[in-house]
Amino acid sequence: MKRFFFSILLYLAAINFVCLLSPNIVVAADGFVNNLSPKIGTDTVITSLYAKTPAEKEYIEKVVAMRDAGEIPYDTFYSAYRYAIKKDKDRRFYYFENTLATFCEGKRISLPNVSGLHKTRYY
């Protein structure tokens, strides 16, 4: 009987110890989650979105430059990029362009205008 109460007491002490550490675990996990989305370079974005025309490549270069300058929040850029990557290869750029435009429209961020880029909006 004493062993049973000792094991329950030890179990409760372990739970209490974990609860005391939980704020530190959350901060560490949050820092780790932010590191899971590394800065993606221009070449990687161009190749993974299958940008074909020079206008599409120029658009990506300008958007990545805006991201690096801090004009576009990184989480907005990365969300649009990850959404587009899951689509068909032929349509990835158009999904990226549309998703980024929709996100930035909601945040009142103006995106670059590139001549020769066929803007398509899917609703």
Q: What is the pLDDT along the chain (123 residues), one digit of tens a residue?
A: 667 666 776 666 666 655 554 444 443 344 444 444 567 888 999 999 999 999 999 999 999 999 999 999 999 999 999 999 999 998 999 999 999 999 999 899 999 888 777 665 554
Residue 117 lies in a domain: no
- Please give the residue range of the domain that contains residue 17: 1-36
Strand runs labelled E in the chain: none
Total-model pTM: 0.66
Residues 100 and 46 in one domain: yes
Q: Which residues have C-beta within 8 Å of that of residue 39, sequence separation ≥ 6?
A: 68, 74
Any idea of the CA torsion for 20, 25, 26, 32, to the nearest 10 degrees? 170
Q: How many domains does the chain contain in total?
A: 2
**Cα gap 98→84, rounded to integer Å:** 9
Residues 6+ apart with CB under 8 A from 76: 100, 103, 104, 107, 109
